[in-house]
Structure 1
Amino acid sequence: MAAVALVQGASRGLGLEFCKQILLNKSPACVIATCRNPENAVELLNLAAQHPGKVTVLKLDVNREDDISSAAEKVKRSFGTLDLIINSSAMLHPSGKGETSLRDVSAQGVISTLTTNTVGPLVVAKYFAPLLQKGAGLFGQQPPEKAKQHSGIIVNMTAKVGSIGDNALGGWYSYRMSKAALNMATRNLSIELGRSRLRVVCVSMHPGTVDTELSRPYHRNMPKERLFSTQHSVHCLLGIIDTLNIDKTGKAYNWDGSELPW
């Protein structure tokens, strides 16, 4: 039986790397790769061509509920089930820079960031959770007790700056708020999707500071040893996913496997 993983935000950065490493390390596996503009996703389309029959590329703009609903219907018809969802797409701010003070805050900037980083992943869960509940639990660890088994996993990509308890510097209002709210969504999902017989593990994960477009404006003062490649970060995160079970649901994890305070 082939594992089926859906990566939301798969055209670049962490999302694209998740697709690559799942195909390489989780055999047999099928990857459903979604992004806003598939026709412009050259690297993703090349990856699909290199793995015929194993990669399905779908249009999904996380800001449009009708896109999410339509993609879920297509996955239901073609696969009927899912084992893993990774909500990967995110934005720092519409301007590309986090707000350094209150005077930089705008209502539209906050709304846009929350829509992409928080509302989008939650609506993805709404439409795709029924397919996870039909999954075979082919990602993570299945304990011997049948009562504790899970059918699927949702991973929401969070950030350490979204931790309220860890925030000592302030700033970045929109991004911090969006990730803190995403963590609350993860917690809520873990409770609701953990009640039924076919339970879904729901976690948030912090990938570290990764060399992607989102964080690139802030690399100047970052020590090299703390700046990760997408390959290293995703390798670490998939290692954590391999250890997940229903007892670990509803939590946030750092790239090194340590628990991140809310």
Structure 2
Amino acid sequence: MAVLIQGASRGLGLQFCKHILASRKELLVLATCRRPSEAEALQALRAEFPRRLALFPLDATREAEARQAAEAVAQEHAGLDLLVNCGALLHPRGGRGETSLRDVAAQDLALTLATNSIGPLVVAKYFTPLLLNGTGAFGRQSTDPGKKHQAILVNMSARVGSIGDNALGGWYSYRMSKAALNMATKNLSIELRRGKAKVICVSLHPGTVDTDLSKPYHKNVPKGKLFSPEHSVNCLMSIINNLDMEQTGKFFAWDGSELPW
């Protein structure tokens, strides 16, 4: 049994690796990032769990690398029980992103969409054959044989990607990229529940987490609402462990509440 964490070099991705290695000792963790040899925290974690953590290079904006990573994993593993797409970009130039229309640049939009929307979908494309061969180690299995699932696919989204929840505007590229990712999740959920082998597909909002990605906004976060990666992943794993086929295609916040598209 194995799980794959895409974008595992830091932040939530790294914490997902730590959590699963510590809590599910029967599982192997396959971690991807652009340059594993330079990911110091990930390398330290592999030194701690040399037999249960494997690293693979994967830049999700490069389709060939996604295909090669999937082929490399398939040579050693028959299936995957969980895939979490964590890799994300707030804005290519750093800072707070676009506060108004005058800040929008086509190049920034393209790179953000490539990283946050297209990349996770391409990763799903190449790893889905392994998900369809999973053992159903995560989530709650239905007593109805027709509603059993083989694996779970999680796309790490954000509340600002909700069109229905958008009351402030701004953040054009990031909002658009997460809204597009949510549409990819919905599409995947429809396609991957049709066959005999089924995969639960959900988007998850982790809350505002104390990571490099969210640093520009920390001073504006209300007291008690800036989460540690440990707290956020604990909450997200609780959701994942309780998913079933009735919830595929939905968008959940860290506290289990369903968010509008």
Report the TM-score when normalising by structure 1: 0.98
Distance 2:42 2:99 in 1: 34
**Number of the residue aligned with 1:180:** 179
> Which residue of structure 1 lines up, in the alignment, with residue 216 of structure 2?
217
Distance (Å, rounded) in 2 between the aligned partners of 1:42 and 1:107: 33
- Poorly superposed stretches of 4+, deviation over 2 Å: none
Larger mean CA deviation between 165-174 and 145-154 belongs to 145-154
CA distance in 1 between counterparts of 2:166 and 2:255 reads 19
Match of 1:17 in 2: 15
Measured after TM superposition, the shift of residue 27 of structure 1 is 2.4
Aligned to 1:27, the other structure's residue is in SS state coil
Question: Where does residue 62 of structure 1 map in the other structure?
Answer: 60
Q: Which residue of 2 aligns with 1:75?
A: 73
Provide the TM-score with structure 2 as the length reference.
Answer: 0.99
1:219 aligned counterpart, secondary structure: helix
Look up the match of 1:166: 165
Of all paired residues, the percent bearing the same amino acid is 60
CA RMSD of aligned residues (A): 0.7
Q: 1:98 Cα deviation (Å)?
A: 1.4
Give the Å deviation of 1:49.
1.1
Query: Residue 223 of structure 1: CA displacement?
Result: 2.0
Counterpart residue number, 1:6: 4
Deviations 1:159-202 (Å, cap 9, x if unpaired)? 00000000000000000000000000000000001100000000
Name the residue aligned to 2:257. 258
Q: Residue 47 of structure 1 is aligned with which of 15, 21, 45?
A: 45
User: Alpha-carbon deviation of 1:75?
Assistant: 0.6
SS class of match (2:224): helix
Letter of the 2:197 counterpart: L
Q: Which residue of 1 aligns with 2:151?
A: 152
SS at match of 1:171: coil
Distance across 2 between alignment mates of 1:101 and 1:120? 26
CA positional deviation for 1:52: 1.8
Deviation at 1:224, TM superposition (A): 2.8
Q: Name 2:188's counterpart in structure 1.
A: 189
Q: Which amino acid aligns with 1:69?
A: R
CA distance in 2, matches of 1:54, 1:221: 39
Task: Describe the superposition over 1:47-66 as per-residue Cα deviations: whole angstroms up to 9, x where unpaired.
Answer: 11111210010000011101
Q: Which residue is equivalent to 1:94?
A: 92
Give how far 1:26 is off.
1.6
1:33 alignment partner in structure 2: 31
Deviation at 1:143, TM superposition (A): 1.5
Unaligned runs of 5+ in 2: none
Q: Which residue of 2 aligns with 1:246?
A: 245
The one-letter amino acid paired with 2:7 is: G
The Cα shift of 1:146 comes to 1.4
Distance 1:222 1:249 in 2: 30
Aligned AA for 1:38?
P
Structure 1 unaligned residues grouped into runs of 5+: none
